[in-house]
Structures are given as structure tokens and as C-alpha cells.
Amino acid sequence: MEYQNLLSEIKENILYVTVNREKALNALNRSTLDELAAVIAFADKTDEVRGVIITGAGEKAFVAGADIKEFSNYNAKEGEELAKRGQDLVFNAIENSSKPFIAAINGFALGGGLELAMACHMRIASDNAKLGLPEVTLGLIPGYGGTQRLTQLVGKGKAIEMITTANMVTAEQAQVFGLVNYVVPLPDLISKAEEILNSIKQRAPLAIASALKSVIASVNEVNGYQTEINEFAKSFETSDFKEGVNAFLEKRKPNFVGK
């Protein structure tokens, strides 16, 4: 698929998505959000894709937020509609995807950019990255799930500090309180994400989808335990479950087919 604001390619079952508006520090305008919605839906329905890496073009920014020039004139109704549409089709769609998403944070991840990274299942940051939710400096609050996901990831106290001060944190600080999984030098960023997805690629695809759904349910649903029970029960009906157990018993590597 051809995009105006994204680069995308599949290599060895990994879909690489690069937000490609380097001059605007990869800020998310409406058409970029529409394209992200399309590529996320594509990843979810395409068997060839076993995992997704999202990054930003250049060496300065992952995504420096929603495009301030574009949303400066929105009224309350437009703000509500766009927040809901964006959350459904981009941010929640990533979090609820059956494929694992990794944000490879190669610089500034601010506002909607950090919200995009937080919607992903894992985050790896380069050592030059800066992360923050500066919305209150613009008289806003985070509108793409940031108040919820930051609180889930770092706890109430740190989330309130970051959101109300609007101060950025370094990659190293973010790792200390669990906002990013790893910090690596910039040249190693994509290979670290690939290393994780290459491990996941060897596992049973339906089990990965069920695990993602269950973990996400633990923070987003009232009864995540019940979702886990349902997903756990479904695993027993898959061929991959039988293959995994047989391979263990026969002391060989499993051959998972995603059924």
C-alpha cells in the first residue's frame, strides 16, 4: 500500500512502519492518523505480518505530538469526535491488535507521540529520546488515552507528576519507572525491536494473540481474570496447542501453523 505520510514494508514477517514527516518532527496530522488506521487494520488481518515496529523518520523525533497547527481551531465537539475516532481506529486498535506492536522511540515522543508509543505493547527508546505529555502547556489534557495508559504503566503518582508539570523525562529515567522496556544507542534501536519480535515469531501465533488480549484485559476490563479464563480455555482447542505439547514430549522443536 502507498502512503503519503508513512513508509511501510514487510521483511521476514515484520511490518516496519515509519511516520515520515521529518520536517514537522513527525507530528500527527489527520491524514497521518488515517493512514496509521489503515496500516494497523492491514497488520491485523494479514497472516504474513507477525509483529509491527513503529518508529519516526530521522534522528530527532519519534513523534512530537499531534499537529498543533491543525488542531488549533478545534471546538469541543470536533475535539470529542476526533478523540473518539482516533482512539478507536489508531490507539485502541494497536492495543487490541492480535499482533505485537513495538514502538522504537528514536527521539522526542511528546503528547500524541507518547500516546502512540504507549498504545504499543512494548517500547524501546534510544538513549537520546525525550518523553513527555506537554498538553497542559497548550491548555489541553492528553486526548488519545494518555491519562489512562501512563497511569497504568508508571503508577498514579508519577503519571500525575508528568502530566501536570508537562516536563519531559529522559530515556534512562523512563526505563527506571517502567515507561520503556529498554534503552539502547540509536543505531541499535531497530535491531533490539527485531530481536524481541524474532523470539515472538517462534511462538504459537494464536497463543500470542490470546496472551495480548488477556494482558490488555487486565488493565482495561473490569473482569480481566474472566477474559484470561476464556482465552486460556480456547487455547486447548487449537492445533498449535497439541503441536506444542507433542513437540515437548517428543523433545523436538514445535512447528506452529497458527491454527
Q: Return the active site residues.
A: 115, 135
Q: Which of 60/234 has CB closer to ligand DAK?
A: 60
Binding mask 64-83 for ligand DAK (x = CB under 6 A): xxxxxx-x--x----x--xx
Please tell me the distance from the alpha carbon of residue 117 to that of residue 103, in angstroms, as a whole number: 5
- Count of residues touching ligand DAK (by CB under 6 A): 25
User: Which residue in the set 143, 145, 205, 244 belongs to the binding site for ligand DAK (CB under 6 A)?
Assistant: 143
* Cβ distance to ligand DAK smaller for residue 145 or 244: 145
Instruction: Reduce the DSSP state of residue 28 to 3 states and report it.
Output: strand
- By C-beta, is 66 or 208 nearer to ligand DAK? 66
The binding track of 158-187 with respect to ligand DAK, each residue x by CB under 6 A or -, is ------------------------------
- What one-character-per-residue DSSP string does 155-205 give? -HHHHHHHHHH---EEHHHHHHTTS-SEEE-GGGHHHHHHHHHHHHHTS-H
Question: In terms of CB distance, is 10 or 138 closer to ligand DAK?
Answer: 138
Q: Would you count residue 145 as binding ligand DAK (CB under 6 A)? A: no
Rounded to a whole number of angstroms, the minimum distance from the CB of residue 83 to ligand DAK is: 3
CB of 184 to ligand DAK, least distance (A): 21
Exposed e or buried b per residue across 136-154, where buried means at least 16 C-beta atoms within 10 angstroms of its C-beta: eeeeeebbbbbbbbbbbbb
Residue choice 6, 14, 17, 25 for contact with ligand DAK (CB under 6 A): 25
Subset of 48-67 contacting ligand DAK (CB under 6 A): 64-67
How many Cβ atoms are within 10 Å of 24's Cβ, its own excluded? Answer: 18
Dihedral Cα 106, 108, 109, 111, nearest 10 deg: -160
Site for ligand DAK (CB under 6 A): which residue of 27, 131, 150, 196? 27
The CA–CA distances, whole Å, from 110 to 42, 65, 105, 130, 169 equal 26, 5, 11, 8, 10
Phi first, then psi, for residue 93 (nearest 5°) are -65, -35
Distance CA 129, CA 69 (A): 23
- In the set 90, 110, 129, 207, which binds ligand DAK (CB under 6 A)? 110
List the one residue from 10, 38, 89, 138 that touches ligand DAK (CB under 6 A): 138
Q: Which residues pair with 101 in a beta bridge?
A: 52
Picking from 184, 238, 170, the residue whose alpha carbon sits closest to that of residue 209 is 238
Instruction: Return the C-alpha cell found at 33.
Output: 492518523
Where do contacts with ligand DAK occur on this chain (CB under 6 A)? 24-25, 27, 64-69, 71, 74, 79, 82-83, 86, 108, 110-112, 134-135, 138, 140, 143-144
